[in-house]
Amino acid sequence: MSPPVRLLVSVRDAAEARVALRAGADLIDAKDPERGALGALPAAKVQEIVAAIDGRAITSAVAGDGTGTNLASAVAAMAVAGPRWIKIAVGSASDAALTEAAAAAPGRLIGVVFAEDSFDGADLPARLAAAGFSGAMIDTRGKSGTGLRDILPAAKLSAFVAACRGSGLMSGLAGSLRLADIPALAALGPDYLGFRGGLCRGGDRRQDLEEARIAEAVAALRMPRRADAA
Residues labelled as active-site residues: 31, 87
Can you tell me the distance from the alpha carbon of 100 to that of 133, in angstroms, rounded to the nearest whole number? 10
Alpha-carbon span 37 to 64, nearest angstrom: 9
* Residue 180 DSSP code: G
DSSP H or E run through 91: none
Residues 6+ apart with CB under 8 A from 30: 10, 11, 12, 17, 41, 45, 46, 49, 50, 59, 60, 61, 62, 83
Buried-exposed string 47-66: b where 16+ CB fall within 10 A, e elsewhere: bbbbebbeeebbbbbbbbbb
Which ranges of the chain would DSSP assign to H, the alpha helix?
Answer: 14-23, 43-53, 71-79, 95-103, 124-131, 148-151, 154-166, 182-186, 211-222
Q: State the Cα–Cα distance between residues 108 and 102, nearest whole angstrom.
A: 8
Percentages (nearest 5) of helix, strand, coil residues in the chain: 40, 20, 40
Whole-angstrom Cα distance, residue 72 to residue 189? 30
C-alpha span between 40 and 61 (Å, rounded): 7
